Each structure stands twice: as C-alpha cells, then as structure tokens.
Amino acid sequence: MNRKSQGTLSFFLLALVALPLAAQNTPIPSPPAINATAWILMEAHTGFILGDKNPDQHIEPASITKMMTAFAVFNELANGNISLSDKAQVSEKAWRTPGSRMFIEVKSQVSVEELLQGMIVQSGNDASVALAEFVAGSEETFAALMNQYAAQLGMANTNFLNSTGLPAADHYTSPRDIAILARALVGRFPDYYRWYSQKEFTYNGITQRNRNALLWQDATVDGIKTGHTESAGYCLVSSASRGPMRLISVVMGTPSSRARSDASQALLNYGFRFFETHELYAAGQSVNDVRVWKGSQKKAGLGVKQGLFITIPRGRYDDLRAEMDLPPQIIAPLSIDQPLGEIRISLDDQLITQQPLYPLTDVPLGGFFERTLDAIKLWFK
C-alpha cells in the first residue's frame, strides 16, 4: 500500500469513529447490596416492585407496627367516629408501657391529635396504647381491628398482637406487607401523612426529634417510620417523591441506625436513577371517543376511573404500546359506572398494566326517531 492509500484509510477510520452512536437503552444493574435481613423497594403510584430480598419473610416489626396503629386511627377519623380534638384519658397501662415514650401522665386528658404526633414523631409507646384504648376499649381489641385492616389491604404475612411493636410471640409482618401499608397511608390519608415528615414534637415541656435521619439528609424524603428492638434489629420504612415518581423502601433487620439509613438511601437513589414513572392518563381524561348507537348523543368519551400510572426502566417511554379492547358496537344507554372494554399497556410484548374504560358521561336512550334510524344503520352495518 502506497503512502497516499494509507492516508486515505486513516481518514476513513477517523470518520467512522466520529460518527454518532445510535441511542441505546440504559442497562439496569442489580439493586445495591443491602446489609439487612429483608427489604423491598416499591413505586407508590403503581405498586411496581423495583427490587427485593426475602420480601415475604415473617419479620418482627418493632415500632414499624405503629404504622398500622396510625392507619386504624386515621380510618376512624375519616369515618367520623372520632375527631382530632377528642380527649383520651391516659390509663395506668398506657402510662407504664415501657420503651420509647411521649411522657403522657396517668389519668390526664390528651387530644387525639397530640397522641398521633407523639406516636408518629416521637414513637411513643404510651401514646400508641392510649390511642388503642380510646378507639377500641382495650389494646387487645384494637389489635384485632389492626388485623382486620391488614386483611382488607391484602397483607397476607402479618399478624399483630399489640399497638406498639414491643416483642411478642406471633407478632410479625413482612417487607411486602409494610410496603402495601405505606402505600395505603400515603394514598388515602395525605392530610395526616404530613406528620411523618415532622422533624420534632414537644409535649409536656419535652422536645424529641424524629428518629428518621433521612428527613435531614434528603429533601425529597417525607416519611415514614423507624423501628428497633434487640430482636428485630434496626428497621426503617422511608418514602421519597421526585417529580411524578414516589418510592417506598422497607429495610428490616440492619445492625445499626446508620446502616438502616444508608441502606434506605441507597435503594431510593437506585430506584430514581434507573426507573421512571409516568401518568399516561389522568382520571376523567378522554382516552378515546366512540360512536354510540341509539343514544341521545352520537359520541362519548371513554376514560379511566383512576389515574393510569406506569413504572418502566428509564429511557423506555417511547417503546410503550397501548391497545384498547372495545365492543364492536356500543349501544345506549350508557352509565359512567358501566365498564366498556379496557386499555392495556405493554413494553417489549410484556403486559405492564391494564384498566377498564368507562364512559365519561351518562348517555341515555335517544328519541324514537334516533333509535329507529340507528337500528336501520346497524342492520346494514
């Protein structure tokens, strides 16, 4: 090869190197190695699991139990059975309950709102028992109520015996169940959930700080609950919201308070870095307009009852595929509570989610002339 040919080849190779590479999907590595007995990472809007270890193992929950105590009380508030201003009388049992304390005094009257903050922010066992007795008459009856709510939520690996999380034989839960519970707390009770981001609370002249260290180191974290006993180890349920995405991490059985915070932060960072959540359709938004036969109107919009969210690997949004399954003819009358087919979202031929579609407005029968004309058209159709 002569010198001129060599120069031409070198230029050609440089030109190839300079060409832009085609965009590639971001690879998804395995989740960080977590020094914990069990853990799970869930997206709150979709329930999508981004990673886990022993998610269904029966674990002693320690003060993580108080999440269900709060859930039960929140439901009593929502149902109008009690109010935040109601006063609960502190029993001797509540006053003597060992462990972390709010420092309520025996026979004193304390409002439900103060007890909730004492339980959520200060992790007061005395506040938990006082709330349980106020709602159900006794802690034992309240524990039965807790288990009924757990069954309603689908917490299949949970059994509560008390409202505090103090060690007791056959008192257990699992990371998956606690993630389900955290998702329900965030979604159903946003006005009460805000207490989980409260960094300190003062009662009886005593100020105590929230034990969730992530509230100080990550501005996107707004909850949710710590737990610790010698037998359970150090546990942390954390939740963070960045843009349209909210993650819930449950870390149980770590060797120290620092370890539970580091593990939770690592999981949250991993989830936000490699996954993304999108709201494809809002509740009440028209997904498709369809022809309505024999109705008072010719067209009707179809939509979803709740916002349709999906969680996917980052960068794969343009690869999503949406399909609708609808009846060949849609005939009035239509009701907003009557499902008309469904929408399915897939990625790489794998179904991600599906939801029924509903008329966005009621469509009553049309007049005699409209019905007759449409009947003729349908006959020819």
- Look at residue 259 and tell me if it is in a domain: yes
Strands of the sheet with 38-43, listed across from one edge? 49-53, 38-43, 245-254, 233-242, 221-229
Could you read off the pLDDT of 235-288 as tens digits, one per residue?
A: 999 999 999 999 999 999 999 999 999 999 999 999 999 999 999 999 999 999
Q: Is-catalytic flag, 83?
A: no
User: 18 exposed, middle or buried (CB, 10 Å; 0-12, 13-18, 19+)?
Assistant: exposed
Give the residue from 242, 259, 275 where a domain finishes. Answer: 275
CA 247 to chain centroid? 7
Is the distance from CB of 97 to CB of 125 less than 8 angstroms?
yes
Q: How far apart are CA 372 and CA 163, in angstroms?
A: 65
Could you read off the pLDDT of 84-111 as tens digits, one per residue?
A: 999 999 999 999 999 999 999 999 999 9
Q: Is-catalytic flag, 123?
A: yes
Residue 74's contacts (CB-CB under 8 Å, 6 or more residues apart) are 185, 188, 189, 192
Instruction: Please give the model's pTM, rounded to 2 decimal places.
Output: 0.89
Average pLDDT of the chain is 92
Q: How far apart are CA 308 and CA 318, in angstroms?
A: 17
What is the DSSP annotation of 289-306? EEEEESBSSSEEEEE-SS
- Look at residue 17 and tell me if it is in a domain: no
Give the residue from 232, 250, 275 where a domain finishes. Answer: 275
Q: Are residues 185 and 310 in the same domain?
A: no
42: CATH = 3.40.710.10
- Active-site entry in 123, 128, 163, 249: 123
Q: Output the pLDDT for position 15.
A: 32
- The boundaries of the domain holding residue 339 are 282-380
Q: Are residues 259 and 347 in the same domain?
A: no
Give the residue from 256, 275, 294 where a domain finishes. Answer: 275
pLDDT band at 21 (very low <50, low <70, confident <90, very high): very low
Q: Are residues 170 and 236 in the same domain?
A: yes
Q: Are residues 296 and 247 in the same domain?
A: no
The distance between the two most distant Cα atoms of the chain, rounded to a whole number of Å, is 103
For the cut 80, the answer to whether the pLDDT of residue 296 exceeds it is yes
Q: Is-catalytic flag, 63?
A: yes
- Active-site entry in 66, 91, 128, 249: 66
Could you read off the pLDDT of 102-147 as tens digits, one per residue?
A: 999 999 999 999 999 999 999 999 999 999 999 999 999 999 999 9
Domain total of the chain = 2
Q: Are residues 229 and 307 in the same domain?
A: no
Q: Are residues 253 and 287 in the same domain?
A: no
Q: Are residues 246 and 293 in the same domain?
A: no
Q: Are residues 143 and 230 in the same domain?
A: yes
CA 220 to chain centroid? 15
- Active-site entry in 5, 10, 53, 63: 63
Q: Output the pLDDT for position 369.
A: 82
307: CATH = 2.60.410.10
Q: Are residues 334 and 271 in the same domain?
A: no
